[in-house]
């Protein structure tokens, strides 16, 4: 057999797949956005399967807390960029394919040029701003994208904007027309996640990609699969294509590139001072500064510096307790502390100097890990 490659021998043997299916994989170009908990299994299985070109978008660094679920990385990789390490290790897994890395944050300014080079996009992000951005770019560029999300012990998978619907295509905005407020939704950095869950959901995403490319089986086209790992309860629901305001999606490339998806998702653009970890620690040592933890009472890790705790959910009722002029706020990832800063600014106006820890306790831990290495 002229094109036989032992690497894919088990694919060749599969009925309804064979050489034709493998050739489709080798010709495909797939972009994976996010090389974290979901991205690691997606990348490993797509690269092993022989996707011809795999793109990786990620601007984050590997931290110790990642290793519980991000199985591409090891302890010696802490402090290195995820996309770079992933590319090196994946190329060793399959040196016969092309791997491209984009060590940048995906924004409306660069998404168009990156996504346009690929056939399918896999969303392995963990925030709503990125998901709406990816969705809108894929709708405008007519690219299918495979969605995945995790929360504690549950995960979701769906395929949006595919070419298989004979009527109107389903996109992410049909499922979530309006973004939730930042303080209403917590990610796994804040509520935790059992390490095996992103592996299970990520493999489902990889499976949907392979089915999309080869035409094998039935994909989750306009359907949302929800999986509970505690009892293996799984259900699939159809996503309605009705009642979507099409004006929510930018109409063309120019409109897309000027859309601010952080504003769309309620992330503040007010002039609130953001502190990096070093400046934050310096501020906490200032006797004239009140440091407030706006996380819920039982959240971990506990802060080991002087502070008080006023959960964001109680802040409006406890504003009268705040007497100091200098106030520094922190939470797990920086989202809730930013919202708390907005509340304080609205209440106190210019009477107090208010700032917050950008990236939250997570950023503080990363900084400590970097200093110890």
Of 39-43, 70-74, 355-359, which range is least confident?
Answer: 355-359
Q: Write down the pLDDT at residue 207.
A: 98
How much is the pLDDT for 182?
A: 59
The residues that bridge with 356 in the sheet, in sequence order, are 274, 329
pLDDT, greater one: 184 or 364: 364
Q: Mean pLDDT over all residues of the chain?
A: 89
- Give percent helix, percent strand, percent coil of the chain, each to the nearest 5: 40, 20, 40
Specify the domain boundaries for CATH 3.40.50.720 within the chain.
Answer: 6-264
- Reported as a single tens digit per residue, the pLDDT across 72-111 is 999 999 889 999 999 999 999 999 999 999 999 999 999 9
Q: What are the residue numbers of the active site?
A: 188, 331
* pLDDT score for 185: 61
pLDDT score at 301: 86
Q: Domain spanning 273-372 has what CATH number? A: 3.40.250.10
Residue 208 has pLDDT above 70, yes or no: yes
The DSSP annotation for 311-355 comes to -GGGGGGGGGG---SEEEEE-SSSHHHHHHHHHHHHHHGGGSEEE
Phi, psi of 335 (to 5 degrees): -70, -50
Q: Report yes or no: 11 and 26 within 8 Å, Cβ to Cβ.
A: no
pTM of structure: 0.79
Phi, psi of 361 (to 5 degrees): -55, -30
Q: Where are the alpha helices (DSSP H) in the chain?
A: 9-12, 18-27, 39-49, 82-93, 111-115, 128-141, 172-175, 188-191, 196-214, 253-257, 261-264, 277-284, 335-348, 360-372
Question: Cα separation of 241 and 289, whole Å?
Answer: 52
Report pLDDT for 84.
Answer: 96
- Identify the CATH class of 6-264: alpha beta
> Tens digits of per-residue pLDDT, 136-149?
999 999 999 999 99
Which residues of the chain are in CATH 3.40.250.10 domains?
273-372
């Amino acid at each position: 057999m002229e094109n036989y490659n032992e690497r894919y021998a088990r694919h060749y043997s599969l009925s309804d797949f064979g050489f034709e299916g493998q050739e489709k994989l080798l010709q495909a170009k797939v972009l994976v956005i996010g090389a974290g908990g979901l991205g690691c299994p997606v990348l490993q299985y797509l690269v092993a399967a022989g996707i011809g070109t795999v793109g990786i978008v990620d601007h984050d660094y590997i931290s110790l807390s990642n290793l519980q679920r991000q199985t591409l990385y090891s302890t010696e990789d802490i402090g290195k960029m995820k996309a770079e390490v992933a590319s090196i290790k994946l190329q060793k897994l399959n040196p016969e394919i092309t791997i491209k890395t984009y060590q940048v944050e995906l924004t409306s300014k660069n998404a168009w040029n990156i996504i346009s080079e690929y056939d399918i996009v896999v969303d392995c992000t963990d925030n709503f701003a990125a998901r709406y951005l990816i969705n809108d770019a894929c709708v405008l560029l007519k690219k299918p994208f495979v969605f995945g999300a995790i929360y504690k012990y549950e995960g979701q998978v769906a395929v949006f904007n595919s070419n298989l619907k004979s009527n109107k295509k389903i996109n992410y905005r049909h499922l979530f027309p309006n973004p939730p407020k930042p303080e209403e939704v917590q990610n796994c950095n804040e509520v935790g996640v059992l390490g095996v869950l992103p592996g299970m959901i990520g493999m489902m995403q990889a499976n949907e990609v392979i089915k999309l490319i080869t035409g094998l089986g039935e994909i989750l086209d306009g359907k949302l699969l929800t999986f509970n790992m505690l009892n293996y309860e799984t259900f699939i629901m159809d996503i309605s294509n009705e009642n979507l305001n099409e004006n929510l999606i930018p109409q063309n490339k120019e409109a897309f590139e000027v859309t601010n998806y952080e504003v769309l998702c309620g992330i503040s653009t007010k002039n609130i001072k953001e502190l990096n970890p070093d400046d934050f620690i310096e501020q906490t040592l200032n006797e004239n500064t009140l440091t407030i933890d706006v996380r819920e009472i039982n959240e971990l890790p506990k802060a080991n510096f002087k502070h008080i705790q006023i959960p964001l959910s109680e802040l409006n009722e406890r504003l009268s307790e705040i007497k100091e002029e200098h106030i520094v706020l922190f939470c797990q990832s920086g989202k809730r502390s930013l919202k708390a800063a907005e509340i304080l600014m609205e209440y106190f106006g210019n009477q107090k100097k208010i700032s917050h820890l950008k990236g939250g306790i997570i950023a503080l831990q990363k900084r400590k890990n970097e200093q110890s290495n």
